[in-house]
Amino acid sequence: MEAWGRETSRVGPIVPRDDLKGHGAAALIVNSRGEYLMQKRDDTPEIWFPGHWGLFGGGVDPGEGAAEALRRELDEELEFRPDSISYVSQVVFDLGDTRGGLRCRYFFEAPIDEAQSEALVLHEGEGMRFFAYEALQRESAVVPYDVFGILLHRSRSELVRARNIP
C-alpha cells in the first residue's frame, strides 16, 4: 500500500501483542473549530455499539501497523487521506467475562480543513457530523472508549502540566 501523509510519534505496545485478542485504530478528525467528526454507526446487532456515534477507523489486520490500518480505513470509509496523522494514545481494555479478551484501541489525530471536509464521501455508517466536545457529553449514544480517547486528546496540555512533563 502506498503511504500518504506524514506520521508523527511512534506507537509503542504496552501489552504483549500475543495477549491481545483485537486491535483497532481510530481517528480524532478535528476541524479548525476543534470539533470532532463522528460516524453514526449502522443500527445492526452484529456490530459493537450499533446506532451509536463513534470515531472513524477500524480493525488492524495481521501484519499491518496501527497507522497503516487507520489510513486504509479512512480511505475506505470516507475517501479521506489526511495530510498528517499524529499518535495520541492507546487504550487497552478487558472484556472480562464476555470471553472477548484484551483489546487495544490506538488513537491518532488527523486535522481536516474545510475543503477536505466538503470532499468527504461516506461509505460506511448511517451518517456523519462534527460535534463540539460539549455536545458529545450531552449525547446519550456514543461509543464509550471513543469518548475516553477524545477526553485524552482534549486534556493533553492539562495532563502534561499536571505531571510537569516538558
We report the CATH number of the domain holding residue 33 as 3.90.79.10
Domain range for 87 is: 18-163
- Whether residue 7 lies inside any domain: the answer is no
**pTM exceeding 0.85:** no
In 3-state terms the chain splits into helix, strand, coil percentages (rounded to 5) of 30, 30, 40
Give, for all 166 residues of the chain, the pLDDT tens digit.
Answer: 334 444 444 555 445 555 656 789 999 999 999 999 999 999 998 888 899 999 999 999 988 889 999 999 999 999 999 999 999 988 887 766 666 678 889 999 999 999 999 999 999 999 999 999 999 989 989 998 899 999 989 887 566 556 665 5
- Whether residue 2 lies inside any domain: the answer is no
- Whether residue 145 lies inside any domain: the answer is yes
- Whether residue 12 lies inside any domain: the answer is no
| Residues paired with 38 in a beta bridge | 129
- Whether residue 5 lies inside any domain: the answer is no
How many domains are there within the chain?
A: 1
